[in-house]
Structure 1
């Protein structure tokens, strides 16, 4: 991807972008990022006449162009949910939270996730109850649900507020809906964590689970712009659900969401803080044991 800004004014921005296939695009947008002109000789003008891959490349070019303008000018042309720099700021603020702050801000999200393991004998959920019942119109298995929580930063880039828990689920094949709980500030969030149910019982590893999700989301931002992510974001695991769907169904993408995917340069790098001391950890791990280290320590993750 490469772009050159040819006009920058308060009325609009004109950009000439060359995509990863070497095709040139002429794109014009408002200072808020709304595109009102996009011309190219390399693709059909009607989206229905393009292949799925061509449509995705077309969309990548638009995302990258907005990103380029945001990087090179003072215009805020990127939507909040595709802004890797802002996501990184949120990720750092989230990683710095104490266990008490995690329980205060994300306690309902943790409880909602853990409630799926009520009947799992190897997961100690304590006296946790489900904060929000699953909607009656939800289809599929009980754990076929995505939980989200929006995060809002203050002027010092610290977490000022969070939304309530959002539940995204299928009501029919190919048809999803989202139910919101609680209140949220009347502005765009700075990021939104997205997690499926996970058997993490303590605040510290759950915090790290959310931090890792944002790291994967940052990867998605770059991939969605047709760019290779910086090295620290070449990680495997679910990020934004909308990109997971693309990775599952579009041949132009590797399966970045899959922890076990064999993608050169990418690896699974989720290393949660354990709610036990290093000396206790040493007593749990036997390097000569036939079980993996994860299998040996998972009791510390799933128990109180």
Structure 2
């Protein structure tokens, strides 16, 4: 990807060259809204483009917003693909005390753990389900994801979080999100996208949210046609809307799959544990019967 700014007046004009060497002439306003977009490499109508062609067009638009933000004083990147904001939120997450983690994320932790009520290997204690799953939901509980928006104050600390968003299927291929609770009346700095996990300890759960944002930063770069910086070449679930692309579009490897074999990428989720990594390694052996999970579950997944 490459770009140059071709003019600035009421609109900002750019020439963007995508990864297929197709030129895109793009105009946006100072807030990053795309006002005009011309290119000759792909069909003009979105419905007539292949998935890959549509992604290249999307890359050009997102790269244009990113490039203007880098080269001018305008903040033209939408908040939900803003890697720098996500990095700030990660730093704020890492600074939280256990009590603060519980204060901000206790409900979504309970919501996540409630999916393991019937799992004899996970000690959910007196976990409740703060919000019942929608009656119109189809499919299994495992298809549910939870969202929560995060808001920073002027010092870069977490000031508030939104209520919980429940994302679920209402028909085959059709998902919707129902929100519970209130949110500050301003744009969030990031949103975590949570797949239910058998994590009990609040610190481990915080690390899980942090890793999700790390994967989302990876997504931000990939969605504008760029290779992420090395620290963000990680495997795992980021934003669900991009997971669907990784699963179904030939243009992308399966970055969401932590077992995927993608050169230069690895799964690096390492939560704080109640034991050291040396102790954990001492508990496991390829010669023992049972799975790795069976070998460690009583230490990691009980209170």
Counterpart residue number, 2:279: 282
| Kept after mapping to 2: 8 A contact 1:213/1:238 | yes
Counterpart residue number, 2:36: 37
Deviation at 1:295, TM superposition (A): 5.3
Counterpart residue number, 1:169: 168
Counterpart residue number, 1:105: 104
| Kept after mapping to 1: 8 A contact 2:192/2:209 | yes
Q: Distance in 2 between matches of 1:286 and 1:140?
A: 37
Structure 1: gaps (5+ residues): none
What TM-score comes out, normalization by structure 1 length?
A: 0.95
| Kept after mapping to 2: 8 A contact 1:285/1:296 | no
| Kept after mapping to 2: 8 A contact 1:113/1:197 | yes
Matches within 5 A, 1:1-12: 1-9=1-9, 11-12=10-11
Deviation at 1:36, TM superposition (A): 1.1
SS for the counterpart of 1:285 is: helix
| Kept after mapping to 1: 8 A contact 2:284/2:295 | no
Deviation at 1:49, TM superposition (A): 2.1
Q: Deviation per CA, 1:42-78, whole angstroms, max 9, x where unpaired?
A: 1221112221110111011100110111111111111
SS for the counterpart of 1:243 is: helix
Deviation at 1:289, TM superposition (A): 5.7
Deviation at 1:300, TM superposition (A): 3.0
Counterpart residue number, 2:246: 247
Structure 2: gaps (5+ residues): none
Counterpart residue number, 1:20: 19
1:153 aligns with 2:152: yes
Q: Deviation per CA, 1:141-190, whole angstroms, max 9, x where unpaired?
A: 12210101100001111100000111010111121111111111011100
| Kept after mapping to 2: 8 A contact 1:143/1:197 | yes
1:195 aligns with 2:209: no
Deviation at 1:260, TM superposition (A): 0.2
The number of aligned residues is 301
| Kept after mapping to 2: 8 A contact 1:285/1:293 | no
Q: Distance in 1 between matches of 2:219 and 2:17?
A: 21
Q: Deviation per CA, 1:190-220, whole angstroms, max 9, x where unpaired?
A: 0000011100011011010000000000000
Matches within 5 A, 1:121-140: 121-140=120-139
- The structure-2 alpha-carbon separation of the partners of 1:301 and 1:44, relative to structure 1 and needing over 3 Å to count, comes to same
| Kept after mapping to 1: 8 A contact 2:4/2:15 | yes
SS for the counterpart of 1:143 is: helix
| Kept after mapping to 1: 8 A contact 2:145/2:168 | yes
Deviation at 1:296, TM superposition (A): 3.8
Q: Distance in 2 between matches of 1:212 and 1:57?
A: 27
| Kept after mapping to 1: 8 A contact 2:284/2:296 | no
Deviation at 1:287, TM superposition (A): 6.2
SS for the counterpart of 2:106 is: helix
SS for the counterpart of 1:168 is: strand
Q: Deviation per CA, 1:120-159, whole angstroms, max 9, x where unpaired?
A: 1110000111110001000001221010110000111110
- The structure-2 alpha-carbon separation of the partners of 1:303 and 1:284, relative to structure 1 and needing over 3 Å to count, comes to farther
SS for the counterpart of 2:64 is: helix
Higher alpha-carbon deviation: 281-290 or 192-201: 281-290
- The structure-2 alpha-carbon separation of the partners of 1:31 and 1:302, relative to structure 1 and needing over 3 Å to count, comes to same
Counterpart residue number, 1:264: 263
Q: Distance in 2 between matches of 1:167 and 1:288?
A: 39
